Amino acid sequence: MEQKIKKLTFALLALTMMLAGCKSKKTVQIPEEEPTTDYTAIVAGFASVTPDTTTVQYISGNATLKLNVDGSNVSLKGKLHIKRGEGVQISITPLGLIEAACVEFLPQKVRLINKLTKKYTEVPYSEASAIGLGGINYKVLEAIFLNHAFLPDGRLAYKGLKEMDIADKGSSYHLSTKGNATMKYSFLIDKDSGELTSCSGVSSTGESVKCEYSDFANIGSVSYPNNLCIGFNGDSKIILDIDLNKISNKSFSFSSRSITSSYRKQSIDDFLKSIK
């Protein structure tokens, strides 16, 4: 009897160990999730995202302009003037003295003036799809020319970083807008310098904008690109490459060019055809 009890006990112990072994083999190990990195605080430290708007109210400089309209190229000399909240103005001065033409992005409209032929066109942003500006407002354009990241409605990025996706792309951070806005934008910001090196946007109706920035230099305490290449793709495809020199942030009086009765207004399509 004692021998049988010992054998039974041994058998029970062996069975228990076998069951325990089987159970352990069936256990699924769930890997711990890697913690996601919140880049918002890091990105918010960059001047292109959180600019000190009190330091840059004005930008001016001499410019070499390369303009491509639907494949037709022209190179010109000119000047760039930006006054925050009032306008972006590109003067065309082929001989360096006399203004031959002017492009103005004003808070309520876009205006293109050919002083040689005394013709001009102007349209509100809502009707500017011919030059790739469908879905773009003045605040967006101002941010593009000032090298700032922004939201589709024109707010600077720091006012709505939580409305953007932020990803680590190696040497850069990639920011992209979320939601169902008419235009969606993406930005590349250099990790080391914090400089915005490119931005692009596409609308739900097909218009797009693409900007490349390079050759950065300090203007006072602000880093600003000496080269801006801005492309608008709408009914026409326009690429404006601006090489700047003698950039300054000193104040100046901004005024839109006056149009006299001797100027003839054209549709934006006819005006563009006349300069191709």
Paired with 174 in beta bridges are 167, 188
Query: DSSP letter string over 17-58?
Result: HHHHHHHHHHPPP-PPPPPPP--HHHHTTSTTTS--TTT-SE
- Rounded to two decimals, the pTM is 0.82
**CA 61 – CA 55 distance, rounded (Å):** 17
State pLDDT tens for residues 138-147: 999 999 999 9
Q: Taking 60 as the threshold, does the pLDDT of residue 10 lie above it?
A: no
Confidence of residue 29 (pLDDT cuts 50, 70, 90): low
Q: Which fold has domain 40-247+263-275?
A: outer membrane lipoprotein receptor (LolB), chain A (2.50.20)
For the chain, the C-alpha Rg in angstroms (whole number) is 30
Whether 79 has a pLDDT exceeding 60, the answer reads yes
* Residue 24, pLDDT above cutoff 90: no
The mean pLDDT of 147-157, rounded to a whole number, is: 93
Q: How confident is the model at residue 203 (pLDDT cuts 50, 70, 90)?
A: confident
For the segment 147-165, the average pLDDT, to the nearest whole number, is: 93
pLDDT mean across residues, the chain: 84
Residue 23 has pLDDT above 50, yes or no: no
> Which residue type is seen at 248?
S
Q: Above pLDDT 70, what percent of the chain? A: 83
Is residue 129 within 8 A of residue 117, CB to CB? The reply is no
* C-alpha–C-alpha distance, residues 156 and 199, integer Å: 13
What distance in Å separates the CA atoms of residue 228 and residue 250, rounded to the nearest whole number?
A: 20
The residue count for the chain: 276
pLDDT at 236: 80
- Choose the weakest-confidence range: 149-158, 176-185, 188-197: 176-185
Residue 28 has pLDDT above 60, yes or no: no
Contact 120, 134 (CB under 8 A): no
Q: How far apart are CA 199 and CA 231, in angstroms?
A: 11
Tell me the average pLDDT across 55-76.
Answer: 91
Compare 272 and 22 and report the one with higher pLDDT.
Answer: 272
